[in-house]
Amino acid sequence: MKIYLNGKFVAKEDAKVSVFDHGLLYGDGAFEGIRAYSGVVFKLGEHIDRLYETCHTMMIGVGLTKKEMIAAVVKTLKVNGLRDAYIRLVITRGDGDLGLDPRKCNAGPNIFIIADKIVLYPAELYKNGLTIVTVPTVRNHPEAINPQLKSLNYLNNILAKIEANNAGVPEAIMLDGNGYVAECTGDNIFMVKDGILKTPIQGRLRGITRDAVMEIAQKKCGLKVQETLITRHEFFNAEEVFLTGTAAELIPVVKIDGRFIGNGKPGPETLRLLKLFHEATRKDGVKVYERNKGHDARQETLERQKEKGVSER
């Protein structure tokens, strides 16, 4: 495995940053989790836009144009010969001293890109749906660490994840400071009722998968889409609930805080949106490999997987 580190490709063993890096010392940095499907990096432009917005607010000068950053991601996949991958792009404040002051990190940021195989959730979770709970840890106040920032400071979500682990469930709902549902620890949340798809308007990260699913729901499923304030009560009484995220894609939820959602099985709109989302992932992004005439990358991936005896998902 080759890691992109500050403009060079290095072996995994040599991909190291200093103990004085403020990303490590303070969580002072930004990141993106991105996915490539069949040689297409899904919504790469949108991920890079979000990353640069986080850096702008955090006043981290990236030192690369967005175009150069996109090229670096593409090259990382090429160097590793990957078509289907999970990509972690990290920008730290860089090396400083033992004080908080970011002005001491004057050598500039450390930037690294890891492209690895995707760890998929077990297939039965998609088939049967998740049981989740609401946890006591509330999502950050927007004027503390705004949930829109995809910063390296993820302790808010990690504390909630610990509470999910303690409850024996794979994901957890986090409320905002006013008691409205915000999102999950690493996923956005949606509900369907009376032909309307609803998702929280505030207190959450603006997920790339979230935006893609809202667009598909509106354009291809004829669903009305609302971003609004939603309480747990409304989620309990929804017909369908599902989560979205780069890693999870779109995954049904069938039980929240002991209450079954609908008939306790993944709903038809959820399954329809999941299928349409999968179709979009192959098209809607930046191509890593130029296709030669008569050479179909997707076909090649399927053939490779067949050889290895694994199913695609």
Q: Which of 150, 220, 224, 287 is catalytic?
A: 150
What are the E-state strand segments in the chain?
2-5, 8-11, 29-37, 40-42, 85-92, 110-116, 130-134, 172-175, 181-184, 188-193, 196-200, 224-228, 240-245, 249-256, 259-260, 285-287
Which region, judged by CB under 6 A, interacts with ligand PXG, from 130-138, 186-194, 217-225, 272-280? Answer: 186-194
Instruction: Give the type of residue at 294.
Output: G
150 is catalytic: yes
| CB 305 to ligand PXG: min, Å | 23
What is the bridge-based pairing of β-strands 224-228 and 259-260?
unpaired
Closest to ligand PXG by CB, 276 vs 302, is 276
Q: By rule CB under 6 A, what string of x and - marks binding of each residue 201-220 to ligand PXG?
A: ----x-xxxx----------
| CB 61 to ligand PXG: min, Å | 23
Q: Does 247 bind ligand PXG (CB under 6 A)?
A: yes
Closest to ligand PXG by CB, 94 vs 147, is 147
Which region, judged by CB under 6 A, interacts with ligand PXG, from 10-18, 52-60, 124-132, 240-248? Answer: 240-248
Q: Would the CA dihedral through 83, 67, 34, 285 be positive or negative? A: negative
The most distant pair of C-alpha atoms in the chain lies apart, rounded to whole Å, by 58
Which region, judged by CB under 6 A, interacts with ligand PXG, from 76-84, 230-238, 239-247, 295-303? Answer: 239-247
Q: Does 246 bind ligand PXG (CB under 6 A)?
A: yes
Report the distance separating Cα 254 and Cα 36, nearest Å.
Answer: 28
| CB 209 to ligand PXG: min, Å | 3
- Total residues belonging to the chain: 313
Closest to ligand PXG by CB, 105 vs 230, is 230
Contact indicator for 34, 47 with CB cutoff of 8 Å: yes
In sequence order, which residues have a C-beta less than 8 Å from that of residue 123 and are 6 or more positions away?
313
Q: Which of 38, 92, 244, 270 binds ligand PXG (CB under 6 A)?
A: 244
A 10 A CB-CB count for 268 gives: 12
Closest to ligand PXG by CB, 96 vs 137, is 137
Q: Is 117 exposed, middle or buried (0-12, 13-18, 19+ CB in 10 A)?
A: exposed
What is the bridge-based pairing of β-strands 8-11 and 240-245?
unpaired
Q: Does 45 bind ligand PXG (CB under 6 A)?
A: no
Which region, judged by CB under 6 A, interacts with ligand PXG, from 78-86, 105-113, 129-137, 242-250? Answer: 242-250
Closest to ligand PXG by CB, 4 vs 86, is 86
| CB 268 to ligand PXG: min, Å | 22
16: left (phi over 0), alpha (psi -120 to 50) or beta: beta
Q: By rule CB under 6 A, what string of x and - marks binding of each residue 111-150 to ligand PXG?
A: ----------------------------------------
Instruction: Give the type of residue at 144.
Output: A
For ligand PXG, the binding residues (CB under 6 A) are 33, 157, 183, 186-188, 205, 207-210, 244-247
Residues known to be catalytic: 150
